[in-house]
Structure 1
Amino acid sequence: MSRPAPRRGRPAAPRRAKKPRGASVVGRRFEAEVGPVAHGGHCVARVPVEDGTRVVFVRHALPGETVVIELTEGTEGDRFWRGDAVSVIEASPDRVEAPCPVAGPGLCGGCDFQHVALPAQRALKAAVVREQLARLARLDVPVEVEAVPGDVDGLRWRTRQRYVDLPDGRRGMRKHRSHDVVPVEDCLLEAPAGPSYRVGEHTFEVADGGFWQVHPGAPAALVSAVMSVLDVRPGESALDLYAGVGLFSRFLLDAVGESGRVVAVEGDPRASELSLANCPGISASAGDVGEVLAREYAGHFDVVVLDPPRVGAKRAVVEAVVARGPRAVAYVACDPAALARDLAIFAEHGYVMRSLRAFDLFPMTHHVECVALLEKS
């Protein structure tokens, strides 16, 4: 659960500049019909060029709309370009006026979907999850993105917020894929109060700056989803990977009882230390999860909770999990592409996805959280 600072729901860090492949196309405009949503908060469009068409990843658009695209990134030789929908000629019925005055082309990059009605935002996220699972894991599954209590019509849910301090004393947020800063007096995602570290009947200690889910309803929703699919029994052994301060470990400990065993592995030493205080009775190890599993805890575990960072668990960790022969694995994923890649590795070893739930823990952004149950076929 503990993660490096740039994490879920925040604008991505500015990218290193690519080597140009010809003259810049930034600023060119095209009228185009918008195609399907793609992973990353944009839609796909094609614009005419001399040798055919070129793919443009377009922000601030919706599938089926006709828009004017202004290119924001790319050179003549690139395989694809990026752009913003700066004018809407034919609007989707799902288009709404963005509630925030700094949400839109060339403005704050913190939100992807403020121009989209909330139910349609969730439908777009579901389409992305379905597409990633089909393309990367060859799974054809229905997906519904569920609302989670704790926000106000998709706003006021971010219990931790970061701003950039401006020289004139104001604060701001960065533009999309840029170091440039837009002054922001009031981010409408920011919650009126900080995070609560109480989930059910348990309270957790979290280090200053340590990871904790930013949506108020997220911890309880994820614990409920994980524990319901695992159906943990008294006396079982449980392995909690990327365990953070012990959110899942605490409830696993309740379920296995005094005759059971819970092991928590976490990369951040301080978070691992706090997991011991939050979950008296567990065993905990701090360090790279793959490296820890390569040298420790080689025996059988009945159930595993896997909650990796955005890049996913990857092959070494997946195969270490499989080697311990669990009857069930609950995979908590904040990136559907990483989830799909890891599910494909599990499938190589005979573990199949039995269920999938998706949660809208980051309204107005493209991010979505999934909980998948894997069992040995």
Structure 2
Amino acid sequence: MSGALELRLGPIAHGGHTVARHEGRVIFVRHGIPGELVRARLTESEEGKRFWRADVVEVLEPSPARRPHFWAPADSPAAYAAGTVPVGGAEFGHIELAEQRRLKAAVVREQLTRLAHLELEVEVEAVPVGDAGPTAGRGEGSGHAADDDGLHWRTRCSFAVDASGRLAMHAHRSEATVPVQDMPLAVDGIERLGLWDADLSGVARVEVAAPASGTTPLVVLTLSEDVPSNRLRELLDAIDGDASVSVVDPTGGAPLTLRGRGSVAEEAGGFHYTVTGEGFWQIHRRAPETLMAAVLDAVRPVLGEGGSAADLYAGAGLFTAPLASIVGQSGSVLSVEGSPGTSRDARRTFKRERHVDVVQGRVERVLRQHAGASFDAVVLDPPRAGAGREVVRQLVAAAPRAVAYVACDPASFARDLGWFREAGWSLEWLRAFDLYPHTHHVETVALLTPGA
């Protein structure tokens, strides 16, 4: 193929790439498997860059772990052969599930070794979307016996809209959009909304939330232009009548509810939550209960009636609720979230819980305001960038008896863990969960304890 390089793919790297070399230059290649011989097309190749990026366009020597991709728009060789580019969101869809998890485990191990200077064996646990999930207790199994095909787990999806008014998705690191007619990773509630054939002209983005409980889904339309009221009615008619619909003005601001409610009802571990279209909630249908169980494994031994806990980067309060239940009315929970919309969700959920203090603001600022406060346990669930040195420093100074660190990025987690270890803290255990099958993402939960 003209313009393509023939490359032997090396080890997996953080971010969903394999590492290859060409004339001494490192090239990060997507859509391959370590050991394969491929032709790859460069997607970023500026001369001044330390490394280049490329996509696989033809597989010359496939890995035994290669399988047919389950979703045509994300199949890189097929997309390039058809004259388009692959969409993001399913970059591991050509790899057998067991091999996906081995690759993710290798990335976690490599980041821990490089950034935290810690050698640790890691197994990534399957989280099937059906009723038989991974065991809740640490070390009680990996859930592989109840494995499935890794599809239909997304309760949240975000779509672009192309120039013809049809649903589309972006290519990786690109503004290019590719029209899509389905999303096999989405739960059935999203597939049934009738968005695939709708004329969405005048809309820039579509956000969809379909709770795993089966309660009313929510569609949020971000408009690209001012549209007249009759056009809004047409958009409403194009979306399944059982769904709530909100719109966001082109200039931004809070969503305006056109039909139903501007929020969805979520449930996890017997606790109930309200999450608006602006709010954050875990996207895998089994993620909330899976992560809650692992976090409680970490904090229960040091937390009881009358205790004190902090839930940092708390989102809508997924972990705040069980913490509040454990400590009871005689205890206290500080729940901190930076996003105003998501913090409002938490405040709505816990407005009758007088022992829960919901604070909106940057975690490091709120901790500074609570300097001297004592916590028995802290749940730390930062965004992809991690907690950062200042938050780690403040937690080391506060010296809670346990920190349950929930991480969606192994590199930022390993970096933060390295700072904890420099301060004398220990990693007691770590579990990794495959909450994003067919993508490179992996979620970890770790128990950290202070030194003597």
Match in the other structure for 2:11: 36
2: CA distance between counterparts of 1:227 and 1:35?
Answer: 39
Q: What is the identity, as a one-letter code, of the residue corresponding to 2:129?
A: G
Match in the other structure for 1:6: none
2: CA distance between counterparts of 1:117 and 1:148?
Answer: 15
| RMSD over aligned Cα atoms | 1.5
Match in the other structure for 2:70: 99
2: CA distance between counterparts of 1:373 and 1:226?
Answer: 8
Are 1:170 and 2:149 counterparts? no
Q: 1:241·1:308 contact (CA, 8 Å) conserved in 2?
A: yes
2: CA distance between counterparts of 1:126 and 1:93?
Answer: 19
Are 1:108 and 2:87 counterparts? yes
Are 1:335 and 2:409 counterparts? yes
Match in the other structure for 1:16: none
1: CA distance between counterparts of 2:389 and 2:107?
Answer: 23
Q: 1:276·1:282 contact (CA, 8 Å) conserved in 2?
A: no
How far 1:180 moved relative to its partner? 0.5
Q: 2:31 aligns with which of 55, 60, 70?
A: 60
2: CA distance between counterparts of 1:286 and 1:103?
Answer: 38
Match in the other structure for 1:278: 349
Match in the other structure for 1:79: 50
Q: What is the identity, as a one-letter code, of the residue corresponding to 2:18?
A: C
Q: 1:368 aligns with which of 435, 438, 442?
A: 442
Aligned to 2:72, the other structure's residue is in SS state coil
Are 1:139 and 2:118 counterparts? yes
Indicate the percent of aligned positions where both proteins have the same amino acid.
50
1:44-71 CA-partner distances (Å, limit 9, x unpaired): 01112xxxx1111011110111112221
Aligned to 2:164, the other structure's residue is in SS state coil
The number of equivalent residue pairs is: 347
Q: What is the identity, as a one-letter code, of the residue corresponding to 1:274?
A: D
Are 1:311 and 2:374 counterparts? no
1: CA distance between counterparts of 2:21 and 2:344?
Answer: 51
Q: 2:112·2:414 contact (CA, 8 Å) conserved in 1?
A: yes
How far 1:235 moved relative to its partner? 2.3
Aligned to 1:81, the other structure's residue is in SS state strand
2: CA distance between counterparts of 1:236 and 1:182?
Answer: 52
Q: What is the identity, as a one-letter code, of the residue corresponding to 1:206?
A: V
Q: 1:195·1:214 contact (CA, 8 Å) conserved in 2?
A: no
How far 1:312 moved relative to its partner? 0.5
5 Å-filtered alignment, 1:184-223, equals 184-193=180-189, 194-196=210-212, 197-223=266-292
Match in the other structure for 1:228: 297
Structure 1 gaps, min length 5: 1-26
Structure 2 gaps, min length 5: 77-84, 131-147, 190-209, 213-265
Q: 1:262 aligns with which of 333, 338, 349?
A: 333
Q: TM-score, normalised by structure 1?
A: 0.89
Q: 1:60·1:115 contact (CA, 8 Å) conserved in 2?
A: yes
Q: What is the identity, as a one-letter code, of the residue corresponding to 1:291?
A: R
How far 1:297 moved relative to its partner? 5.2
Q: 1:110·1:174 contact (CA, 8 Å) conserved in 2?
A: no
How far 1:87 moved relative to its partner? 1.4
2: CA distance between counterparts of 1:334 and 1:59?
Answer: 20
Are 1:243 and 2:314 counterparts? yes
Aligned to 2:367, the other structure's residue is in SS state helix
| Pair 1:297–1:244, CA change in 2 (3 A) | farther
